[in-house]
Amino acid sequence: MSDTPVYNLNCQKCHIQYTLDDVAFDKSCQNKHTFLFVCPGCGDYKATAMANIPAEQWHKFVPAEQLDELIQQHAAAMKSH
């Protein structure tokens, strides 16, 4: 069993998992890159810093065909500051 905490992606209203809607890369020097989620049931939005979810868990909500590109974009954004 892993000691890595699992970020809760379940909607408190619908009790179903949020889906990834978009990703925002911070262009300032703050490195506050953000995942934006939407609930497929009620349309509620949720945002969290990418740092709040360990990269080894991203595959749980990022489609496989987008995961490698997202990891590369995140690495480039982290190096740009």
Cα–Cα distance list, 65 to 5, 21, 69, 74 (Å): 25, 15, 8, 16
Q: What percent of the chain has pLDDT over 70?
A: 93
Distance CA 36, CA 68 (A): 18
Summarize pLDDT for 4-23 with one digit per residue, the tens: 667 889 999 999 999 999 99
pLDDT tens column, 56-66 = 999 999 999 99
What is the average pLDDT value for the chain, to the nearest integer? 88
Question: Domain residue spans in the chain?
Answer: 19-79
| pLDDT tens readout for residues 29-71 | 777 899 999 999 999 999 999 999 999 999 999 999 999 999 9
